Structure 1
Amino acid sequence: MSTDSSRVPRLRKPKLSPTYYWMVLPALALFLVFHTVPVVQGIYYSFTDSPGYGPSNFVGLRNYAALFSDPRVIHAYWFTFLIAIVATVVTNVIALAIAIGLNSRIKFKNGLRGIYFIPNVLAVLVVGYIFNYLFSNSLPALAAKLDIGWLENSLLGQAKTAWIAIVILAVWQSAAFNIILYLAGLQTVEPEVYEASALDGASAWRTFRSITFPLIAGFFTINMVLSLKGYLQIFDHIVALTGGGPGTDTESIALLIYKGGFQGGEYGYQSANSVIFFIVIVTLSMVQLNVLRRREVSES
């Protein structure tokens, strides 16, 4: 039996209310003005020798070529990757352990959740200067009384120990956010699953490895990606603790771009560095996300 297609009523697309445009267009305009336009300008300046003021000349890819042979830039990338990788691993291990503890049947767990989240709402610079005093004065004084020789000198005085102090501050300040996400993930696991595991005689480690972790793998992926992205952009922690010193030994990419671009007359050069850094962060985040998602699928 054939049908006349001309008689079939066509569904009309619903018209958008003018309110929709009044809500979306201002936000879009703000996004373009304060995000897209500066990004495009930064890309343009990366092809110039602009010092950040006055006239500038177009230099093509000269800035980009110079970045790959600049020892200061190479060291800053190496140091940033070191901080980001170590801090990401330590943060997620600590946050997951604390979240599992808070999710168990312990007293005052609601109060502890609030206490653990306090570092996340504090200003990093303010907390950083407090940690600076602790590492430079309180800790050495305590070490002298306890006769701990290797701690009598400030951790911030040498490059081989300063990075450890930076990781400690970064993990202390950032772990709270990861704890909240892991707690949200743990609350999605049904209690009956743990009851069945206990009846089967599974140990705590086996329960975590075979039940808890696979069921919260999605939250683990989110935390790992956000942590690495955040730590790659580390800035305030280093400004408060070392300022990039001793010398330039603890200089991160973000701090190098700030110093060179806004204080060192290298605006065009550091704009090129910013473009490369942006590409690195996006690439690493995408690779990390794809790898961890494949792991989720393999465990499900």
Structure 2
Amino acid sequence: MVLPAVAIFFVFHTLPVLQGIFFSFTDYAGYGTWQFVGLRNYLNLFGNDRIAHSYLFTFQFAIVATVLTNALALTIAMGLNARIRLQTTLRGLYFIPNVLAVLVVGYVFNYLFSNSLPVLGQALGVEWLSTSILANEDLAWLGIVVLAVWQACAFNIILYLAGLQTIPGELYEAASLDGASTWRRFRSITFPLISAFFTINMVLSLKNFLQVFDHVIALTNGGPGTATESISLVIYRGGFQGGEYAYQTANAVVYLVVIIVLSLAQLRFLQSREAES
């Protein structure tokens, strides 16, 4: 029963990955003939300023988006977990962004940042908001962060809600009788008991944000200039549009190793914090 699934996974996932690693040691352009070049593609990566900038932008974006997403999602989840009216309806509404296509939503946010917000900025007399932030090299990345956080919060909220519902209400009642403040209850009861869910959300968020692509395409297409080019976008453009198939495949292999190492390091660190709490 499992063999068909394993065969499909191998043909459409594992085999292409192995082929990509093989071609990363060649000068293949995606068509025509090729020759082995050894580690030349990998060595050339370290002297490429455009690739270095794309890594810097991606890490900056991923760290900020991961922190904001989890902070906002946990806050909303705690609010939804309280006894409020229309609780079930609100949970459904907050999950809607997760089922919407990122590109479609991205074009909507593109219109808001390029048209609606500048009008509002002009009315309020706010100079930096009077023009599209997507056309500003220093602010364009913030627009991508807003879209990414808005879309990613939905999934994280569901996981945090699942974690919050595992906490016995008697613990909060006992803490209230002891005179514990809201912050104290959160620090001593809520967060330690949902630390496993926090670990999952942080690791998945960072991994997903490091692979940002659709958000950039919909909002800035890597611009202004190359200010918001992510690693995935550079690999796509160079590999499929720029005749750098083997070179960008080497970049993809390095990128894969970076994501795996960061994810494992983050997981190990957060799990050690779980044990301490």
SS at match of 1:95: helix
Counterpart for residue 261 of structure 2 = 283
Amino acid at match of 2:263: S
Alignment counterpart, residue 144 of structure 1, candidates 113, 119, 122: 122
Quote the residue 1:80 is aligned against: 58
1:182 shift after superposition: 0.2
Question: What is the Cα deviation at residue 294 of structure 1?
Answer: 0.3
Cα distance in 2, alignment partners of residues 36 and 143 from structure 1? 50
Structure possessing the higher radius of gyration over alpha carbons? 1
Q: 1:105-144, aligned counterparts within 5 Å? A: 105-144=83-122
* SS, match of residue 160 in structure 1: coil
Deviations 1:46-82 (A, max 9, x none): 0011111111111100000000110001000000000
Rounded to whole Å, the distance in 1 between the matches of 2:267 and 2:185 is: 25
Q: Provide the aligned length of Structure 1 versus Structure 2.
A: 277
Partner of 2:43: 65
1: CA distance, partners of 2:25 / 2:220: 32
> Which digits, 9 at most, give the CA deviation of each residue in 1:225-271, with x for residues without a partner?
00000000000000000000111110000011000000000000000
Counterpart selection for 1:222 from 187, 195, 200: 200
Q: CA deviation at 1:150?
A: 1.5
Alpha-carbon distance in 1 for matches of 2:122, 2:36: 57
Structure 2 residue runs of 5 or longer lacking an equivalent are none
Quick one: distance in 2 between partners of 1:117 and 1:108? 14
Alignment of 1:183-262 (within 5 A): 183-262=161-240
Distance 2:178 2:5 in 1: 55
Shift of residue 36 of structure 1? Answer: 0.8
SS at match of 2:227: coil
The CA distance in 2 between the partners of 1:149 and 1:105, in whole Å, is 42
CA distance in 2, matches of 1:283, 1:55: 34
Identity percentage of aligned residues: 66
Match of 1:158 among 132, 136, 139: 136
Instruction: Select 1:55's aligned residue among 33, 45, 51.
Output: 33
Moved over 2 A (4+): none
Q: Which runs of 5+ in 1 are unaligned?
A: 1-22
Partner of 2:146: 168
- Give the residue type in structure 2 aligned to 1:228: L
* Partner Cα distance (2:181, 2:149) in 1: 29
How far the C-alpha of 1:43 sits from its partner, in A, is 0.2
Amino acid at match of 1:205: W
**TM-score, L = length of structure 1:** 0.92
* Residue equivalent to 1:13: none
- 2:128 and 2:40 map into 1 onto residues whose CA distance is 46
Q: 2:245 aligns with which of 253, 260, 267?
A: 267
Q: 1:159 is aligned with what amino acid?
A: E
1: CA distance, partners of 2:67 / 2:191? 15
Match of 1:16 in 2: none
Q: Measure how far apart 1:196 and its partner are.
A: 0.3
Residue type of the alignment partner of 1:129? Y
Alignment-derived partner of residue 32 in structure 1: 10
- For 2:42 and 2:266, the matched residues in 1 are separated by 25
SS at match of 2:166: coil
Cα distance in 1 for residues equivalent to 2:131 and 2:187: 41
Give the distance between the partners of 2:128 and 2:225, measured in 1 at CA.
22
Amino acid at match of 1:189: I
